[in-house]
Structure 1
Amino acid sequence: MAVVARAGSDGGGNNEVQWCFLQVKGAIDEDVAEADIISTVEFNYTGDLLATGDKGGRVVIFQREQETKSRPVSRGEYNVYSTFQSHEPEFDYLKSLEIEEKINKIRWLPQQNAAHFLLSTNDKTIKLWKISERDKRAEGYNLKDEDGRLREPFRVTELRVSLCSLALCISLHALLYLHATKLKCANQKWCWGQGHVFIDDQAEEISELTAWKCLTETFLRKKLVTDVKFSSTENSGSRKSWRWFHVELCVLSAVFEEPEDPSSRSFFSEIISSISDVKFSHSGRYMMTRDYLSVKVWDLNMENRPVETYQVHEYLRSKLCSLYENDCIFDKFECCWNGSDSTIMTGSYNNFFRTFERNTHRDTTLEASRESSKPRAILKPRKVCTTGKRKKDEITVDSLDFNKKILHTAWHPTDNIIAVAATNNLYLFQEKVN
């Protein structure tokens, strides 16, 4: 029997996680530039690095500080590690279409050596980036005498370029140009669709993605794909139902779809049932889908209905007309699992984000706000009032700010550290430690 958890439900238990403010990144501006809005957030496999992408095509990587005896409370804090421009605006002359530089997704590859690799994509292009540290010692042709001895810095007054180095430089540039479209990462297979990146860790290298082209021709032409993910097995997804494909054979393996109640169908049914995000559990047993009003957990062995349904902001059902007029109904919210698959998290409006504990069915509404951003301050649960009489610390539905929204969330793979993107600000919260 499917479990349905509604807003405000409490399944009991005394092991409730208390969240405290860790830090916030981003400028405090009333008028936020469109390019500064965060469009994706992603922890790497160890959780030591956290990457964000924005609508301006930039990628910012944060590194987690290590705990020391002199600064034990700094454990968990993230500081800027690297920043680079990933994508630039383009124009597709064949289709007369402008391609935005907005970063749609970032995916970290499993670390194989001292360097880190990540994929970033906009609507058209995937880019593979290598992040590594270099020795900062000054060294090179200009710093040495003819006999190879190091020169004193004050003696370096002009730039010398050897003919050998110049010829090698020209050759390398030519090779890079010729091989620019043949970039591969050993033992990784990655492909693109509708601005999403997905990685199969166990697959062999492929060159033309023949299976994906087959899948596109046979299925994607008929259905609008809004999100695609790979788990430990080959899977793919679609609009209001979740299609599971065997990519190599291009065979439809399973259809996950909940039967619709004809009596509840309305003009908005198709829109609010559209799936905006899909995440497989770490165990590989479940998958989670997010539509406009709810989060659903599916058992991969049961296709006809979800095993758990969590109402995120059911109180907005009466506001669908207004949300349609201001285009908020088309917002695409993401969702994520914690490291043990026991809790899920997703965003809402008014900079609210919600956590649902699967064992106790307890749900909590929290707010990402600079007003409660004092060091180690405990977050107070928020509640939206749906009736005429409002209690203390409650907020009415009509008072919600729909310009403030948590669309992108991420959970540390092992620790209770969460990251949520609120417009141009990145908030990090940590479980309260006694």
Structure 2
Amino acid sequence: MNEHNPPSFAHGYHLEWTENMATKIANVGNSIHARCQKVYPHAHDFNINSISNNSDCETFVSADDLRINLWNLEISDQCFNIVDMKPSNMDDLTEVITSAEFHPIYCNLLAYSSSRGFVRLVDMRQSALCDHSARILRDAAESHGSKSFFTEIIASISDIKFANDGQHLLSRDYMNLKLWDIRMDSTPVATFKIHEHLRPKLCDLYNNDSIFDKFECSVSGDGLHFATGSYSNLLRIFSHGVGSAGGITVEAGKNENRKPILQAAPRARRSSLSNLTRGLYRQAHENSSSGHHELSYNLSSKLLHLAWHPTTNLIACANGNSLFFHYA
């Protein structure tokens, strides 16, 4: 309080003016606070890897490593299991669900991917349990090619995304980004090489667990451009039939003033079946390499999560604890 602004009394309240009050008021802006509207508890026994809204605006699916559940948005205490891949004996487990996505137009169609490199397209009208009546998208060229211990690991699909036209689907495995026409189940329309230069280093990538990294993918609103991430925080952007086959590579979130973030080694969680399959791979592998080969790229800086704006050529990239936007 100062002499130019004496205190005032109104209805028993004592009001004072302070010198920094105007500054405090000026700095207060509009803020948005998220509030939980509804909780859907006890839905899964394992970590949820996907949630996808249906085009009917009434239902959505949630997926973990073994099951996909169908929910009504207004009913939080009941769901329907539509895909169940859990074997009667867990020793017989051969694959896990890695991603699930509803068709953007037809509310009865659902796609989900697996650790064996398959994308299954199911029609929920055919059966209450959809895991046996599915159209399978798989690359026939890879299934007939040469095999190694790492073949099945790098074939695991980490993410799938439908294009807005509903006719094309994008899938990402460790090595490649593939564009599919859902009417062609044996050959992708296009294959974009992401980590081909890492193929000679697969043994090193396996030893430090990097081979199990799950990179997401994204499609532009017009369905003509595709994006995914890589190591050293690299953002890879491709176009089908336009530009070079190598696409465009930019470093996401390059900021010299930003302090580097030390990422701790991931800890295995009992609730994830993906870690169980990782352990099975390790038990079957005998490392024949003599000594450690230093990798020339930054494995601790990796662009795993990204999303393309539905109507604008704007890509959101999650880099450590920061969110960056890139105009494509």
Which residue number in structure 1 is paired with residue 111 of structure 2?
Answer: 235
Q: For residues 195-244 of structure 1, what are the alpha-carbon distances to aligned partners after superposition, in whole Å with 9 as ceiling and x for unaligned?
A: 99887999x9994415345x6679x9653111111113233332311122
Q: Is the 8 A contact 2:178 2:192 kept in 1?
A: yes
Q: 1:191 to 1:352 in 2, by over 3 A?
A: closer
Structure 1 residue 324: deviation in Å?
0.7
Q: 1:308 to 1:210 in 2, by over 3 A?
A: same
Separation (CA, whole Å) in 1 of partners of 2:168 and 2:71: 18
Separation (CA, whole Å) in 2 of partners of 1:196 and 1:373: 44
Separation (CA, whole Å) in 1 of partners of 2:78 and 2:209: 39
Alignment of 1:57-96 (within 5 A): 81-82=32-33
Alignment of 1:275-290 (within 5 A): 275-290=157-172
Q: Out of 407, 418, 426, which is 2:304 matched to?
A: 407
Bigger relative contact order, structure 1 or 2, given CA contacts below 8 A and separation 6+? Answer: 1
Q: 1:188 to 1:261 in 2, by over 3 A?
A: closer
Separation (CA, whole Å) in 2 of partners of 1:353 and 1:373: 20
State the 4+ residue runs in structure 1 displaced beyond 6 angstroms: 108-112, 195-202
Separation (CA, whole Å) in 1 of partners of 2:59 and 2:255: 44
Q: 1:235 to 1:370 in 2, by over 3 A?
A: closer
SS in 1 for 2:184: coil
Alignment of 1:8-47 (within 5 A): none
SS in 1 for 2:199: helix
Which residue number in structure 2 is paired with residue 346 of structure 1?
Answer: 228
Q: Is the 8 A contact 1:229 1:279 kept in 2?
A: yes
Q: Out of 67, 85, 97, which is 1:225 matched to?
A: 97
* 1:258 and 2:133 are equivalent in the alignment: no
Which residue number in structure 2 is paired with residue 427 of structure 1?
Answer: 324
Which residue number in structure 2 is paired with residue 193 of structure 1?
Answer: 64
Equivalent residue letter for 1:209: F
SS in 2 for 1:276: strand
* 1:292 and 2:174 are equivalent in the alignment: yes
Name stretches of at least 5 consecutive residues in structure 2 with no aligned partner: 1-29, 259-293
Q: Is the 8 A contact 2:72 2:79 kept in 1?
A: no
Structure 1 residue 110: deviation in Å?
7.8
SS in 1 for 2:97: coil
Separation (CA, whole Å) in 1 of partners of 2:257 and 2:240: 28
Cα root mean square deviation, aligned: 4.0
Structure 1 residue 427: deviation in Å?
0.7
Identity %: 32
User: TM-score under structure 1 normalisation?
Assistant: 0.48
Which residue number in structure 1 is paired with residue 272 of structure 2?
Answer: none
Q: Is the 8 A contact 1:243 1:252 kept in 2?
A: no
Which residue number in structure 2 is paired with residue 327 of structure 1?
Answer: 209
Q: For residues 401-425 of structure 1, what are the alpha-carbon distances to aligned partners after superposition, in whole Å with 9 as ceiling and x for unaligned?
A: 1100000110000001110111211
Separation (CA, whole Å) in 2 of partners of 1:210 and 1:197: 6
Alignment of 1:51-130 (within 5 A): 81-82=32-33, 104=49
Q: Out of 245, 248, 268, which is 2:122 matched to?
A: 245
Separation (CA, whole Å) in 2 of partners of 1:200 and 1:274: 27
Q: 1:258 to 1:293 in 2, by over 3 A?
A: same
Q: For residues 29-59 of structure 1, what are the alpha-carbon distances to aligned partners after superposition, in whole Å with 9 as ceiling and x for unaligned?
A: xxxxxxxxxxxxxxxxxxxxxxxxxxxxxxx
* 1:366 and 2:250 are equivalent in the alignment: yes
Structure 1 residue 328: deviation in Å?
0.3
Q: How many residues align?
A: 243
Which residue number in structure 1 is paired with residue 184 of structure 2?
Answer: 302
Q: 1:196 to 1:209 in 2, by over 3 A?
A: closer
Q: Is the 8 A contact 2:51 2:100 kept in 1?
A: no
Separation (CA, whole Å) in 1 of partners of 2:248 and 2:213: 22
Q: 1:310 to 1:201 in 2, by over 3 A?
A: farther
